[in-house]
């Protein structure tokens, strides 16, 4: 039986976070909700995966953060892309295109396709 919700594929979380932040700054909870919404509920990112990814992206210098007040009046750390983050996103998108293309070629493989 196939699960209707799953964790983000290993190695893709950074790419997905960068892509969402390219649209605009978001706090961590908002990132998780938006990812689940856009993926029609397929991807569910737990906080134990998301926040370490955000910290990793900050250490790489591709994401920065600042405290702001949310729409609910609470303080939250909002994350946004740096200039280097936009370049990293372009590179990650190119890597994804190459990787997903290779996976699709393997999935489409038949004896007749040789």
- Residue 86: predicted pLDDT: 97
80 forms bridges with which residues in the sheet? 64
Going along the chain from its start, the domains and CATH numbers come out as 13-113 (1.10.10.10)
Could you report the per-residue pLDDT of 33-68, keeping only the tens digit for each?
Answer: 999 999 999 989 998 999 999 999 999 999 999 999
Q: What is the pTM assigned to this prediction?
A: 0.86
Q: Is the dihedral of CA 77, 42, 49, 93 positive or negative?
A: negative
Side by side, the strands of the sheet bearing 63-69 are: 26-27, 75-81, 63-69
**3-class DSSP assignment, residue 78:** strand
Could you tell me which residues come within 8 angstroms of residue 88 by beta carbon, excluding any fewer than 6 positions away? 18, 60, 62
Q: pLDDT tens-digit profile of 79-106? A: 999 999 999 999 999 999 999 999 999 9
pLDDT for residue 111: 84
């Amino acid at each position: 039986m196939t699960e209707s919700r799953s964790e983000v594929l290993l190695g893709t979380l950074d790419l997905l976070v960068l892509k969402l932040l390219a649209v605009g700054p978001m706090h961590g909870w908002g990132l998780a909700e938006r990812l689940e919404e856009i993926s029609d509920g397929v991807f569910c990112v737990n906080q134990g995966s998301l926040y370490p990814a955000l910290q990793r992206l900050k250490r790489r210098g591709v994401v920065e953060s600042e405290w702001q007040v949310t729409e609910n009046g609470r303080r939250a750390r909002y994350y946004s892309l740096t200039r280097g983050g936009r370049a990293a996103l372009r590179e990650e998108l190119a890597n994804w295109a190459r990787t997903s293309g290779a996976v699709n070629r393997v999935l489409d493989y038949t004896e007749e396709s040789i």
